[in-house]
């Protein structure tokens, strides 16, 4: 068996030892030195070049190096009929929830305002709500959204979630569909986006959505840069419709030099680090899917290409 490893952001040094230790019979070939393309059975990828997967004539399974698969599905030459599996790693879920809790707390406890006061040498106590008085809305009712909601709820926040389809989880308030989105937004003081990026969710963080939030609401986007209409965010901040934003993902990555987000006083920028893939915990999950495929068993987290996740 041979596996192609191709990542635009990760390294062979972090992955090859983990994969070969756990599955010695697997040949791990690092792009571009892959040998005969016809010998590749599996592809473990992040943002592969368009056409790369189509160049592997005997490819059996495509494995994403992350929870999202939009970086694979955007390939116009994506080979049809080859199953795709996304990565769902409890470590990554925990890491995402850590990030969301951190950023919600920063916004809730007015960290940007206190940082500005520190720079201006101002000693002033700001009025502070209790967590139970702060409403948080999460776009995304999957594993990531549910875990973050449970952890925020444990801190006392009033949390609700929204998804495209109806879903009921004990202890969590949920909204769904086009009718449920305005209701979720209307009650949300801190909006968190954890949606998969699909044709239906692209640009969902736009002027219309911001207009449905309470005045002075804040945003955390840790999903994909394609969810956000950047110009609409800048306008909403300029008009005071939104008070702040925390952004971990961007339309263009790395965020270009000179981009207005870099030095905006009401925007916190982090470099797509909310839930980085961790090879020691992710490699066993990836290899389990290869074993399942070889044994003819159901895959873990197989992607529905029509739905986009």
- CA dist 131 and 229 (Å) reads 29
Same domain, 66 and 104: no
112 and 167 in a common domain: yes
Same domain, 66 and 128: no
Query: What is the rounded distance in angstroms from the CA atom of residue 178 to the CA atom of residue 158?
Result: 22
Residue 173 counted as domain residue: yes
Is it true that the peptide bond before 32 is cis, omega within 30 degrees of 0?
yes
Is the pLDDT assigned to residue 9 strictly greater than 90? no
User: Exposed, middle or buried: residue 189 (CB in 10 Å: 0-12, 13-18, 19+)?
Assistant: buried
| Preceding peptide of 219 cis, ω within 30° | no
- The answer to whether position 192 is within a domain reads yes
Q: What is the pLDDT of residue 209?
A: 98
Which tokens go with 226? Answer: 């394609």
Examine residue 301 and state whether it is found in any structural domain, yes or no: no
Same structural domain, 10 and 85: yes
* 73 domain-assigned: yes
Distance from the first to the final alpha carbon of the chain: 27
Q: What is the pLDDT of residues 273-299, one digit of tens each?
A: 999 999 999 999 999 999 999 999 999
Residue 8: what pLDDT?
A: 87
Instruction: Give CA–CA dist 294/6, Å, rounded.
Output: 22
For residue 304, being part of any structural domain is answered with no
User: pLDDT of 105-124, one tens digit each?
Assistant: 999 999 999 999 999 999 99
Strand boundaries in 51-185, DSSP class E: 61-64, 84-85, 135-139, 158-163, 173-176
Among 92, 112, 153, residue whose Cα is nearest residue 243:
112
Q: Which domain holds residue 224?
A: 90-269
- Pair (106, 220) in one structural domain: yes
In a domain, 18, yes or no: yes
Q: Do 255 and 140 sit in the same domain of this protein? A: yes
31 lies in the same domain as 172: no
Half-sphere exposure for 214 (CA within 13 Å, toward CB): 12
| 99, 149: one domain | yes
DSSP 216-282: TEEEEE-S-GGGB-HHHHHHHHHTTSEEEEEES--SSSSPPTT-TTTT-TTEEE--S-TT---HHHH
Domain tally, the chain = 2
Q: Residue 12's pLDDT band (boundaries 50, 70, 90)? A: confident
Q: Tens of pLDDT along 51-74?
A: 999 999 999 999 999 999 999 999
CA atoms within 13 A on the CB side of 305: 12
Mean pLDDT of the chain: 97
Domain-embedded: residue 248: yes
Q: Are residues 96 and 236 in the same domain?
A: yes
CA dist 50 and 71 (Å) reads: 10
Q: Same structural domain for residues 189 and 242?
A: yes
Q: Averaged over 33-60, what is the pLDDT?
A: 97
CATH classification at residue 99 = 3.40.50.720
Residue 250 CA to residue 271 CA, distance in Å, equals 9
Mean pLDDT of 121-148: 98
216 located within any domain: yes
* 260 in Cβ contact with 251 (< 8 Å): no
Q: Alpha-carbon distance 51 to 49, whole Å?
A: 6
Q: What is the CA radius of gyration of the chain?
A: 21
Are both 150 and 236 inside the same structural domain? yes
Residues belonging to the active site: 224, 272
**Do 79 and 116 share a domain, yes or no?**
no
What are the structure tokens assigned to 216, written together?
Answer: 């002075």
């Amino acid at each position: 068996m041979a596996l192609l490893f191709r990542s635009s952001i990760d390294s062979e040094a972090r992955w090859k030892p983990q994969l070969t230790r756990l599955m010695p019979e697997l040949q791990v070939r690092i792009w571009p030195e892959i040998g005969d393309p016809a010998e590749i059975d599996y592809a473990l990828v992040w943002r592969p070049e368009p056409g790369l997967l189509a160049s592997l004539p005997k490819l059996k399974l495509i494995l994403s190096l992350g929870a999202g698969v939009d970086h694979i599905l955007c390939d116009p030459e994506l080979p049809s009929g080859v199953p795709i599996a996304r990565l769902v790693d409890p470590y990554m879920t925990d890491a995402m929830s850590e990030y969301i809790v951190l950023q919600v707390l920063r916004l809730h406890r007015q960290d940007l305002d206190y940082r500005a006061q520190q720079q201006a040498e101002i000693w002033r106590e700001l009025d502070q709500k209790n967590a139970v008085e702060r409403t948080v809305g999460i776009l995304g009712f999957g594993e990531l959204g549910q875990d973050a909601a449970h952890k925020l709820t444990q801190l006392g926040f009033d949390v609700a979630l929204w998804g495209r389809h109806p879903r009921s989880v004990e202890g969590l308030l949920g909204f769904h569909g086009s009718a449920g989105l305005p209701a979720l937004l209307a009650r949300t003081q801190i909006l968190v986006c954890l949606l998969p990026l699909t044709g239906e969710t692209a640009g969902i963080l736009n002027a219309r959505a911001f207009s449905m939030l309470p005045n002075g609401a804040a945003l955390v986007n840790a999903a994909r840069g394609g969810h956000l209409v950047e110009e609409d965010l800048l306008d909403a901040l300029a008009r005071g419709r939104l008070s702040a934003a925390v952004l971990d993902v961007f339309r263009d990555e790395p965020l270009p030099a000179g981009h207005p987000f870099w030095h905006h006083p009401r925007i916190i920028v982090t470099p797509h680090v909310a839930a980085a893939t961790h090879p020691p915990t992710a490699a066993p999950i990836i290899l389990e899917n290869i074993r399942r495929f070889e044994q003819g068993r159901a895959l873990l987290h197989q992607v529905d290409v029509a739905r986009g996740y």
